[in-house]
Structure 1
Amino acid sequence: MNELDKSVVICRCEEVSYEEIEEVIRLGARTFDDIKRLTRCGMGACQAKICNFLVANIIHEELGKPLQEIPLPRMRMPISPIKLETLSTNSKDFSTVKSVLDEVEVKDGEVG
């Protein structure tokens, strides 16, 4: 990966460049989660599905850490997307993630 231009965007969702990741590693970041906290890398719409491997490779190259020893980034709920319809109606037609509306009682258009 060293042949990449330092301005190459690694995380497209948050527009984090190779150079920015390299810099936070120099400042002490050792894991994807460290890099995520300092740059927002992996916090965009894809939730690190696209940049995870690229960041792991940068960590591997900069720190000499074997790829299998680099932990995956921590995932936050919801792990799967929720349709807006589920959130805006009392729909119970979805899989594992519950709607916030399932815990709210609504009578005559008012939350009770």
Structure 2
Amino acid sequence: MCRCEEITYEEIEEVIHHGAVSFDDIKRLTRCGMGPCQSKVCAHLVLQAIHEITGKPLVEIPIPRTRMPVSPIRIQTLATNSTQFSTVKSVLDELELENGKVK
């Protein structure tokens, strides 16, 4: 089901039988969706599995929550084999303060 984290259908089925009712429940229990693709490949497969196993209509199954990265990184860092991690600077990083006020 999840190629990035190597999670099988059987593992998904097992955690559903133990009470997982949403993608986020399954994610917390198995790491499904936490790999490099961030559930872009497996989300629909897992939602379909929840539907098949529980009989719950797809429209009643909550979609996975998405979260922003802790600190944004440059697209160049993601797109290349860069070994240096570069964060995106904020406008606030450029401010100069004097006595707690902007110069």
Q: What TM-score results when the alignment is normalised by the length of structure 2?
A: 0.71
Correspondence list, 1:12-31, <5 A: 12-31=3-22
1:82 paired residue among 67, 73, 80: 73
Alignment partner, residue 58 of structure 2: 67
1:58 paired residue among 49, 54, 57: 49
User: How big is the alpha-carbon RMSD for the aligned residues of Structure 1 and Structure 2?
Assistant: 2.9
Q: Aligned equivalents of 1:88 and 1:47: distance in 2? A: 20
Q: Which has the higher strand share?
A: 1
Give the percent of matched residue pairs that are identical in Structure 1 and Structure 2.
68
Q: Aligned equivalents of 1:43 and 1:72: distance in 2? A: 15
Count of paired positions = 86
Unaligned runs of at least 5 residues, structure 1: 1-9, 93-97, 106-112
CA shift, 1:87, in A, is 4.8
Q: What TM-score results when the alignment is normalised by the length of structure 1?
A: 0.66
Letter matched to residue 9 of structure 2: Y
Unaligned runs of at least 5 residues, structure 2: 97-103
Letter matched to residue 61 of structure 1: E
Runs (4+) of structure 1 exceeding 2 A deviation are 81-89
Letter matched to residue 88 of structure 1: S
Q: Aligned equivalents of 2:21 and 2:73: distance in 1? A: 32
Alignment partner, residue 40 of structure 1: 31
Higher relative contact order (CA 8 A, sep 6+): 2
CA shift, 1:38, in A, is 0.2
